[in-house]
Amino acid sequence: MSDTPPDRLATDPRSPFHDAALLERGIGIRFNGIERHNVEEYCVSEGWVRLPVGKALDRRGQPMTMKVKGKVEPYYLDTAATDADADADADADAG
């Protein structure tokens, strides 16, 4: 697998942009510099994310979402954990 997440990804299995293997690996989203954990879908090239709006559901039982524009920075969670472990090991060796 590549180290860069896809340009567009969705958590909804009915979406053509859904990829279960990538979601299982773990994707983190930084939106406008803030870590977001409730992103339903994102697109880096177009610069937007879909976020749920409260607890409201549509007629199919899916959460109502709102598209918000801004700077989207996806990353793999396992890569971030590996980098943090490497930094911690380097600090332990130095100290």
Query: Can you give the residue ranges of every domain in the chain?
Result: 8-94
By the 8 A CB rule, do 12 and 4 touch?
no
pLDDT tens-digit readout, 9-22: 999 999 999 999 99
* Token couple for 83: 């980098």
Q: Which helix (H) or strand (E) holds 9?
A: strand 8-10
pLDDT tens-digit readout, 47-86: 999 999 999 999 999 899 999 999 999 999 886 555 555 5
pLDDT tens-digit readout, 23-41: 999 999 999 999 999 999 9
- The model's confidence at residue 3, banded by pLDDT at 50, 70 and 90, is confident
Query: Which pTM value belongs to this model?
Result: 0.77
